[in-house]
Amino acid sequence: MSTSPRRFPLLIAALLGVVVLGLAFLGLRPSRAPTVEAAAPAASAPGAGRTITHAQGSTVVAPHPKQVLVFDLAALDTLDALGVEVRGVAGEYFPGPLAKYADAKKYPRFGTLFEPDYEAVHAARPDLIITGGRTSARYAKLAAMAPTIDQTTDDAHYLDTVVGNTERLATVFGKEDQARALIGGLRQSIEALKGTTSTRGKGLIVLTSGGRMSAYGPGSRFGVLHESFGIPPAAPSLKASLHGEAIGSEFILETNPDWLFVIDRDAAIGEGGGAQRLLDNELVRQTTAWKQGQVVYLDPADTYLIGGGIQSVRRLLEQISDAYAKPRQPPAP
């Protein structure tokens, strides 16, 4: 079947348009090229390792590993606090507090959190690989290449695992003193916060993404607010689920929380956040939280992306403490 020649240019124009669009897009972003320098031979003394137990079993790790690859932002955050230098990182996006790792010259990239660049990892001959959260599903494959420890946090025992993860890294790198100070400070601040939160009303955690909302309760990935920071849940029936429960504004109106904690997922990944626009509606405006100015936009990087690093938990805690420390606004008329 043939086409009249008149239509030909139209089709070509359409195809051309698609190609131009594609090229324009490719130009938007510098091509990523995780150049891996010639790998230094692993400098571990065999037989001198110690056994480290972690979320996915136990691993023999050489003392004072130098060539460390990190596939977890939370672990990166904790290592940063402990003052441990790393050989390489993974991912494309290093939010605020971890911005220094975005320097690909200093910290070469080994794929993304979900898809490690196995060949680069293999060529780098690391002494230690650290996985967690988003990369934990790739643990087995990475563990076959080099000693690997997994730092996944358990949402049901969030704070315990954050502490445990910090202690584990401290043991591996011989930074026990620093870890003790960090953990001690965190515990103290938590106790102080608990004293205020328990008497100041109930809270609801809402994550917004792409114009939709979902609610999270105790035991969920953000449940630490209820369980460890002592904020009574406004909707205790919320079950723990990774992506929360889809809700509408009516749910917030009926739950009527005294505190509304908002995680703007789109802001976490660098897009102009629409959480405020989404929540500022006739229904949510009637809640106690909104009327009293007790809507807290949690730092999306610390809650959503880095969540679980010892510093990110501390920053989250500070943010909530600040919110509770502010003088109460008189109820709007």
- Contact residues toward another protein (CB under 8 A) are 1-4, 7, 10-11, 14, 17, 21-22, 25, 28-29, 92-93, 209-213, 215, 245-251, 253-254, 265-266, 269-272, 278, 281-283
Nearer to another protein (CB atom), residue 119 or residue 250 = 250
Cα–Cα distance between 255 and 272 in angstroms, integer? Answer: 28
Nearer to another protein (CB atom), residue 210 or residue 330 = 210
If we measure between CA atoms, which residue out of 246, 203, 210 comes closest to residue 224? 203
Nearer to another protein (CB atom), residue 14 or residue 40 = 14
Tell me how far, at minimum, the Cβ of 241 lies from another protein, in Å. 10
| Strand 128-131 versus strand 68-70 pairing type | parallel
Taking a C-beta distance cutoff of 8 angstroms, is the pair 308, 74 a contact?
A: yes
First to last CA, the chain: 73
Tell me how far, at minimum, the Cβ of 246 lies from another protein, in Å. 5
Cα–Cα distance between 225 and 234 in angstroms, integer? Answer: 12
Cα–Cα distance between 105 and 265 in angstroms, integer? Answer: 29
Tell me how far, at minimum, the Cβ of 250 lies from another protein, in Å. 4
Q: Cα separations (Å) of 77 from 36, 45, 73, 84?
A: 23, 28, 6, 10
What are 9's two structure tokens? Answer: 């240019």
Nearer to another protein (CB atom), residue 188 or residue 286 = 286
Tell me how far, at minimum, the Cβ of 68 lies from another protein, in Å. 24
Cα–Cα distance between 233 and 324 in angstroms, integer? Answer: 16
Tell me how far, at minimum, the Cβ of 42 lies from another protein, in Å. 32
Taking a C-beta distance cutoff of 8 angstroms, is the pair 152, 132 a contact?
A: yes
Nearer to another protein (CB atom), residue 16 or residue 43 = 16
Helix (H) or strand (E) holding 205: strand 203-209
Nearer to another protein (CB atom), residue 64 or residue 291 = 291
Nearer to another protein (CB atom), residue 61 or residue 90 = 90
Helix (H) or strand (E) holding 161: helix 158-173
Tell me how far, at minimum, the Cβ of 266 lies from another protein, in Å. 5
CB neighbours of residue 141 within 10 Å: 13
Tell me how far, at minimum, the Cβ of 253 lies from another protein, in Å. 6
